[in-house]
């Protein structure tokens, strides 16, 4: 089977990647450093201005043009390999902390939101919006202005005291739509047949549908509609509340396509007026923003978070080059049990982000070994009194999920409270690793549940013989020795056996949830079967304990541990960004190259990447469908 899987995976990989010579990239890296690294960043937004002081009368300028990730600091310096331009991300943890800090900063007059488009799930954007609301409660102002706005951007900026649009600008309030790409027709053309195993109880486990159907099942349509209704309910309520409009009016605007011009936006009450950029500058100056050399004092989020970012980046580069001559660091030792006399003063936050797989993983992937080691480190550290497991995951390997779950159980047995903090996604394996926590907090729009298991066994006979002219013959001593070759379909006995294994894994999953949530097996089974729930529904049915963001979870963990004045310890330790960069040079970030060349979006690449993940993943997986796009 591995040969057929490799062929299909390679074909998909060819579609989403172009290989670039590592040697050429290394030459570029050295030239960039030697020829003046600062010049490579000269075209970036003002966040990298080397005038590092935040002067009195400054406005925090938020554009949300960089992707928001769970944790900042992992990649201070990244490069888009298509055109060698610098890239950045913003850590949600840093962003929320910086907005709060700005509310108390005497040098910050207010916030300018200039948001045309913003990507992210409603739960992440909801946390940002809540942080902006808290900023307003300090008495400082928020002004929003943009030339154009997507619907999500408008939802986020509707929190502002005043919202303005360019006189010739356009905005989008059209309601929500969710679409899924189905790959069955592609697989048929390739001659690949997918055998799906999901046990008798996984009616809603829709992650397999794009590989077996050409449209949505009724069960999947029901659960996705519930998700959309929850998302829209939150967005509509927030917009209506901020703009003093009845909620039904937002639906009328969407259904009637009433927002057809900038002037219409003002007439509908969505905007306070129309301003050119120079008019906006005059307005901000009236609000107390200082002017220096005819330029407003604006601080981008990167510059506000670390005014010395450019200097730090160059210093990191030089240090990395100096150490590149062969210095090798040993893996961190788990160590012995610490001194029991040490007073626990720390709350450890363990970030579990991405699909779940066995092995080490990275900042975008939950490797069971890496995350389990981080939890174990927190358990053995006498200075750590409680742990927050921050989860943003659609799931993945059932085995890897169980490895991480075991460490959460051992933490509790050691007397250290565990609070699960759910971000955008904590579904399937993401819920598995959360379910043993003493307390589970989420956002109303968090996607969770999806308690179920599936297996997929591809049959590559049609691809190998029909398209490539490859045939196999064999000699076998036992009836089922060729079961996993990938050249034939399962026979009835094999199918029954595999479904039995999946049923056992499913029962274990349900039992883990029942034990963690204090429910009976039957109660969890009714909520499981692969069904996806919103955070709001999960609170009603007992799968979570309440709503709260990451900081709420940290406070809850500290309270459970009886720590009045805590310090934070973030785990796993972030890898040196230049080590990652060097690996990228030689290993190549393949997908980004083709994206830039042909204009593919992340959403268009995601279905093909998910095929690769499933093909290369464990045989049995607890994963929810991520192959959907919400408009």
pLDDT band at 364 (very low <50, low <70, confident <90, very high): confident
pLDDT at 454: 84
pLDDT at 46: 43
For domain 36-173+259-312, give the fold.
2-enoyl-CoA Hydratase; Chain A, domain 1 (3.90.226)
Do residues 173 and 151 lie in contact, with contact meaning Cβ atoms separated by under 8 Å? yes
Q: Is the pLDDT confidence value at 321 over 60?
A: no
Q: Residue 506's Cα: distance from chain center in Å?
A: 25
Q: Residue 235's Cα: distance from chain center in Å?
A: 20
Q: Is the pLDDT confidence value at 615 over 80?
A: no
565: phi then psi, degrees, rounded to nearest 5: -125, 95
For domain 176-242+342-460+484-579+622-631, give the fold.
2-enoyl-CoA Hydratase; Chain A, domain 1 (3.90.226)
Q: Is the pLDDT confidence value at 10 over 60?
A: no
pLDDT band at 42 (very low <50, low <70, confident <90, very high): very low
Cα–Cα distance for residue pair 505/496, rounded to 1 Å: 14
pLDDT band at 466 (very low <50, low <70, confident <90, very high): confident
pLDDT band at 304 (very low <50, low <70, confident <90, very high): very high
pLDDT at 322: 60
pLDDT at 261: 95
Higher-pLDDT residue of 169 and 20 is 169
The most confident of 202-206, 354-358, 467-471, 574-578, by mean pLDDT? 354-358
pLDDT at 50: 39
Higher-pLDDT residue of 463 and 55 is 55
Q: What percent of the chain has pLDDT over 90?
A: 55
pLDDT at 523: 97
Q: Identify the CA nearest to 349 among candidates 33, 23, 72.
A: 72
Q: Is 132 exposed, middle or buried (0-12, 13-18, 19+ CB in 10 A)?
A: buried
Say whether 379 sits in a helix, a strand or coil: helix
pLDDT band at 601 (very low <50, low <70, confident <90, very high): low
| Fold agreement (36-173+259-312, 176-242+342-460+484-579+622-631) | yes
Do residues 357 and 617 lie in contact, with contact meaning Cβ atoms separated by under 8 Å? yes
Q: What strand order describes the sheet that includes 361-362?
A: 193-197, 454-459, 620-623, 395-397, 355-357, 365-367, 361-362
What residue ranges in 398-505 does DSSP mark as E strands? 418-427, 439-442, 447-449, 454-459
Residue 257, H or E segment: none
Higher-pLDDT residue of 222 and 19 is 222
Q: What strand order describes the sheet that includes 58-62?
A: 273-274, 162-171, 141-149, 108-113, 58-62, 298-300
Task: Please state whether beta strands 58-62 and 108-113 pair in parallel, antiparallel, or not at all (unpaired).
Answer: parallel
List the domain boundaries for the chain: 36-173+259-312, 176-242+342-460+484-579+622-631
The H-assigned helical ranges of 2-71 are: 2-16, 22-34, 37-40
Q: Is the peptide bond before 223 cis (omega within 30 degrees of 0)?
A: no
Q: What percent of the chain has pLDDT over 70?
A: 75
Which residue has tokens 């970012």?
A: 309
Do residues 357 and 376 lie in contact, with contact meaning Cβ atoms separated by under 8 Å? no
pLDDT at 339: 47
The most confident of 12-21, 301-310, 620-629, by mean pLDDT? 301-310
pLDDT at 409: 97
Do residues 513 and 451 lie in contact, with contact meaning Cβ atoms separated by under 8 Å? yes
Q: Which residues make Cβ contacts (< 8 Å) with residue 125, sequence separation at least 6?
A: 118, 152, 155, 156
Cα–Cα distance for residue pair 174/171, rounded to 1 Å: 10
Residue 346, H or E segment: strand 346-353
Q: Is 396 exposed, middle or buried (0-12, 13-18, 19+ CB in 10 A)?
A: buried
With b for 16 or more beta-carbon neighbours within 10 A and e for fewer, the 49-86 pattern comes to: beeeebeebbbbbbbbbbebbbbbbbbbbbbebeeeeb
> pLDDT tens for residues 68-127?
999 987 544 455 544 445 567 899 999 999 999 999 999 999 999 999 999 888 999 999
Q: Is the pLDDT confidence value at 308 over 90?
A: no
245 φ/ψ sector (left φ>0, alpha ψ -120 to 50, else beta): beta
Higher-pLDDT residue of 348 and 185 is 348
> For 88, how many CA atoms within 13 A lie in the half-sphere containing its CB?
23
Calculate mean pLDDT across residues 39-52. Answer: 44
Q: Is 466 exposed, middle or buried (0-12, 13-18, 19+ CB in 10 A)?
A: exposed
DSSP 331: P
pLDDT at 75: 47
Cα–Cα distance for residue pair 459/195, rounded to 1 Å: 7
Per the prediction, the chain carries an average pLDDT of 82
Higher-pLDDT residue of 75 and 433 is 433
Do residues 237 and 208 lie in contact, with contact meaning Cβ atoms separated by under 8 Å? no
Q: Is the pLDDT confidence value at 30 over 60?
A: no
pLDDT at 247: 97
> pLDDT tens for residues 383-415?
999 999 999 999 999 999 999 999 999 999 999
């Amino acid at each position: 089977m591995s040969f057929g899987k490799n062929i299909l995976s390679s074909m998909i990989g060819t579609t989403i990647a172009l290989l670039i010579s590592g040697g050429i990239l290394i030459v570029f890296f050295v030239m960039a450093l030697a020829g003046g690294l600062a010049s490579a960043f000269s075209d970036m937004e003002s966040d990298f201005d080397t005038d590092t002081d935040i002067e009195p009368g400054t406005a925090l300028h938020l554009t949300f043009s960089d992707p928001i990730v769970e944790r900042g600091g992992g990649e201070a310096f990244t490069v888009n390999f298509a055109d060698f331009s610098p890239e950045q991300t913003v850590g949600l943890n840093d962003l929320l902390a910086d907005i709060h800090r700005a509310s108390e900063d005497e040098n910050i007059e207010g916030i300018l939101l200039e948001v045309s488009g913003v990507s992210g799930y409603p739960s992440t954007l909801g946390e940002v919006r809540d942080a902006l609301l808290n900023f307003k409660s300090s008495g400082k102002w928020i002004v929003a202005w943009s030339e154009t706005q997507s619907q999500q951007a408008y939802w986020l900026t509707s929190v502002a005291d005043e919202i303005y649009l360019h006189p010739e600008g356009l905005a989008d309030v059209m309601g929500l739509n969710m679409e899924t790409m189905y790959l069955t027709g592609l697989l048929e053309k390739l001659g690949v047949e997918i055998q799906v195993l999901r046990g008798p109880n996984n009616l809603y486990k829709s992650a397999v549908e794009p590989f077996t159907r050409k449209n949505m099942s009724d069960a999947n349509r029901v659960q996705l509609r519930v998700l959309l209704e929850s998302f829209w309910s939150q967005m509509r309520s927030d917009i209506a509340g901020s703009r003093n409009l009845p909620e039904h009016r937002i639906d009328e605007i969407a259904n009637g396509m009433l927002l057809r011009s900038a002037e219409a936006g003002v007439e509908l009450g969505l905007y306070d007026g129309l301003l050119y950029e120079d008019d906006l500058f005059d307005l901000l100056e009236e609000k107390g923003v200082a002017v220096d050399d005819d330029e407003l004092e604006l601080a981008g989020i990167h510059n506000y978070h670390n005014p010395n970012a450019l200097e730090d980046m160059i210093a990191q580069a030089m240090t990395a080059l100096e150490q590149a001559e062969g210095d090798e660091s040993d893996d961190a030792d788990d160590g012995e049990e610490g001194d029991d006399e040490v007073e626990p003063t720390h709350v450890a936050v363990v970030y579990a982000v991405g699909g779940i797989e066995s092995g080490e993983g990275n900042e975008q992937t939950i490797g069971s070994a890496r995350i389990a080691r981080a939890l174990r480190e927190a358990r053995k550290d006498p200075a750590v009194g409680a742990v927050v497991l921050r989860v943003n995951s659609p799931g993945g390997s059932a085995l890897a999920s169980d490895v991480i779950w075991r460490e959460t159980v051992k933490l509790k047995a050691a007397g250290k409270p565990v609070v699960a903090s759910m971000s955008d996604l904590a579904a399937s394996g993401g819920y598995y690793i959360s379910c043993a926590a003493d307390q589970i907090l989420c956002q109303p729009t968090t996607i969770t549940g999806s308690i179920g298991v599936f297996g997929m066994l591809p049959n590559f006979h049609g691809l190998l013989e029909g398209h490539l002219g490859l045939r196999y013959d064999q000699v076998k001593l036992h009836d089922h020795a060729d079961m996993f070759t990938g050249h034939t379909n399962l026979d009835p006995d094999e199918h029954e056996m595999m479904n039995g294994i999946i049923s056992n894994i499913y029962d274990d999953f349900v039992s883990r949830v029942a034990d963690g949530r204090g429910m009976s097996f039957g109660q969890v089974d009714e909520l499981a079967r692969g069904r996806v729930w919103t955070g709001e529904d999960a609170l009603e049915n007992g799968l979570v304990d309440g709503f709260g963001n990451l900081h709420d979870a940290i406070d809850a963990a500290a309270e459970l541990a009886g720590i009045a004045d805590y310090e934070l310890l973030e785990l796993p330790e972030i890898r040196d960004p230049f080590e990652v960069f060097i690996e990228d040079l030689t290993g190549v970030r393949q997908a980004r190259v083709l994206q830039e060349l042909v204009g593919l979006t992340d959403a268009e690449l995601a279905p093909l990447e998910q095929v690769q993940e499933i093909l290369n993943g464990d045989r049995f997986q607890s994963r929810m469908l991520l192959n959907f796009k919400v408009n």
